[in-house]
DNA sequence: ATGTCAATAAGTGTTTTTACTTATTATGGA
DNA sequence: TCCATAATAAGTAAAAACACTTATTGACAT
């Protein structure tokens, strides 16, 4: 059973959501808040699994409220409920610690799915929002020109990945069960082949090539 | 009507796809290729709207073939058809210019949707792959919550940027007209504040924060 | 005025990176 | 079979990174 705290400054919205959520056997609304301060206080006492958070709220907005709740109880998952698919809102509230972002124009079914997804610790974004995250990813990735991961051997690729993750030659040697000198040799060969002269450059190359993430 | 060129080195796969695509009123297969060279040549003469491209092919792999086709005819959209949800493949073929990425384990319905989506110039990624892009976006955006640029001074930020670009302490000192020891001190302070212990980690952080690009 | 903080910098010592050379073994292709 | 390449590894050496401490200066806020 997933417990839910509703936060929205419009009473009708809260009542509507409460009614809809009552239809779902595995979801229970345990409280309601009409502003940012209230939701922070209630989250502390009620300790719900999930908070449905309106972004625009008096006293304290949803972003600040999210930040406070997550700082205090990281196990409480937040689903942002917003009217706008604006990238800035998405970025800000996700950075504040929300795991979900659902548009108010979405069907209730989607909100329910979002609640169940974030309850397990996984992120959920409304398709519109997810769509532009993907578009951005594709655009970003397709505009970066590059030549070759192909000129590297599989072992070199492996070493490059670990280097980019911040590992030292010693750690890499341990992880790959090879000598420290061998790991160093691989790094040296990487640098020669790629014509790079620092770990920072190798790291950026590895990220560009998708070997690891920033 | 959307015209399609099929590229896959397995004849059964091509025949299967051709049959399935024949069911769709708005899609027509205008040609088939069994290897990379062939698909590049056929794309040139047939000028299809969309190419369905297997990644693993003889002669010339799907990534190289994609690169060549897109370089020659940017209006031809490519949907990669792959067995693997591996980040490396996704990144590489998208960078080569593909707009879609569909897993072979997907239902045919999904491939059809991908074709129609990319035909309009919009990207399409299989849910597994997309989910993973989204998770990365969320993780990336939410991990910047704890330690962010705000805790750094302006000078430290400046030094961080240069370090991430691959500069050494000596070069940074020169560029900022400060002593080498000062540049080193800034780096040390950065590491302490961010709780990081290598240039690779600092570099990734700088990229996440948008101080520099990968 | 007093205290915290940012920016500057020197000193000391350890570890790692960077840059070479050389060499052995295994594998796969011409 | 011979040759090229990948993977392994050692040796040498200079440069840089990493990790501390300490100290001076100026700015800004309580």
A146 vs B: CB within 8 A:
yes
Cα pseudo-dihedral A206, A210, A212, A214, rounded to 10: 90
Say whether pLDDT at B205 is over 80.
yes
Any residues with CB less than 8 A from the CB of A84 and at least 6 apart, and which?
A: A55, A103
In angstroms, how far is C12 C1' from B182 CA? 16
Task: Write down which residues 151-180 in A have CB closer than 7 A to strand C.
Answer: 168-170
Partners of A77 in the β-ladder: A50
In angstroms, how far is D24 C1' from B95 CA? 52
DSSP A152-207: S-HHHHHHHHHHHTT--HHHHHHHHTS-HHHHHHHHHHHHHHHT--SHHHHHHHHH
Cα pseudo-dihedral A64, A67, A70, A73, rounded to 10: -70
Contact yes or no for B211/A200 (Cβ under 8 A): no
Nearest CB neighbour to A214, from listed B95, B199, B207? B207
Per-residue flag: B213 CB under 7 A of strand C = no
Residue of A nearest to B121 (CA): A135
* Residue A158, nucleotide of least CA–C1' distance: D7
B85 vs A: CB within 8 A:
no
Say whether pLDDT at B168 is over 70.
yes
Architecture of domain B140-208: Orthogonal Bundle (1.10)
A50, A66, B59 from B10: Cα distances, Å: 49, 52, 14
User: For position A151, what pLDDT does the model report?
Assistant: 80
Any residues with CB less than 8 A from the CB of A197 and at least 6 apart, and which?
A: A191, B166
pLDDT tens track for A101-158? 999 988 999 999 999 999 998 888 888 888 777 777 776 665 554 546 778 888 999 9
User: For position B24, what pLDDT does the model report?
Assistant: 95
User: For position A200, what pLDDT does the model report?
Assistant: 93
* Residue B202, nucleotide of least CA–C1' distance: D17
Token output for A178: 């090879």
In this prediction, residues B16-30 reach a mean pLDDT of: 95
Nearest CB neighbour to B92, from listed A198, A207, A210? A210
The nearest CA of chain B is from the CA of A146 a distance in Å of 8
Nearest CB neighbour to A201, from listed B94, B166, B208? B166
**Multiple choice CATH, B2-129, 3.30.390.30, 3.40.640.10, 3.40.50.2300, 3.40.50.300:** 3.40.50.2300
User: For position B152, what pLDDT does the model report?
Assistant: 85
User: For position B145, what pLDDT does the model report?
Assistant: 47
Token output for A168: 């030292």
Provide the 3-class DSSP secondary structure of residue A103. Answer: strand
Q: Could you say which residues of chain A have pLDDT below 50? A: 145, 147
Domain spans of chain A, in order of start: 2-129, 140-208
- H-helix or E-strand containing B182? helix B180-194
In this prediction, residues B85-89 reach a mean pLDDT of: 81
Token output for A161: 């990945």
Answer whether B138 sits within 8 Å of A146, measured CB to CB.
no
CA-CA distance, B195 to B24, in Å (whole number)? 56
Kindly report whether the global pTM for this prediction surpasses the value 0.85: no
């Amino acid at each position: 059973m997933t417990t839910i705290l509703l936060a929205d400054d419009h009473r009708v919205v809260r009542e509507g959501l409460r009614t809809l959520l009552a239809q779902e056997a595995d979801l229970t609304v345990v409280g309601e808040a009409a502003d940012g301060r209230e939701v922070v206080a209630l989250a502390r006492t009620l300790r719900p699994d999930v908070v449905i958070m309106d972004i625009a709220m008096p006293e304290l907005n949803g972003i600040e409220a999210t930040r406070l709740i997550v700082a205090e109880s990281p196990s409480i998952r937040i689903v942002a409920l917003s009217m706008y698919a604006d990238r800035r809102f998405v970025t800000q509230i996700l950075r504040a610690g929300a795991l979900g972002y659902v548009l108010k124009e979405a069907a209730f079914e989607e909100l329910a799915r979002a609640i169940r997804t974030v309850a397990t610790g996984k992120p959920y974004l409304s398709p519109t929002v997810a769509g532009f995250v993907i578009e951005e990813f594709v655009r970003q990735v397709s505009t970066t020109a590059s030549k070759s991961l192909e000129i590297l051997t599989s072992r070199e690729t492996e070493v490059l990945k670990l280097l980019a993750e911040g590992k030292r030659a010693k750690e890499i040697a341990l992880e790959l069960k090879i000598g420290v000198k061998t790991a160093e040799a691989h790094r040296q060969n990487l640098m020669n082949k790629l014509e790079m002269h620092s770990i920072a450059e190798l790291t950026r190359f590895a990220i560009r090539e998708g070997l690891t993430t920033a």
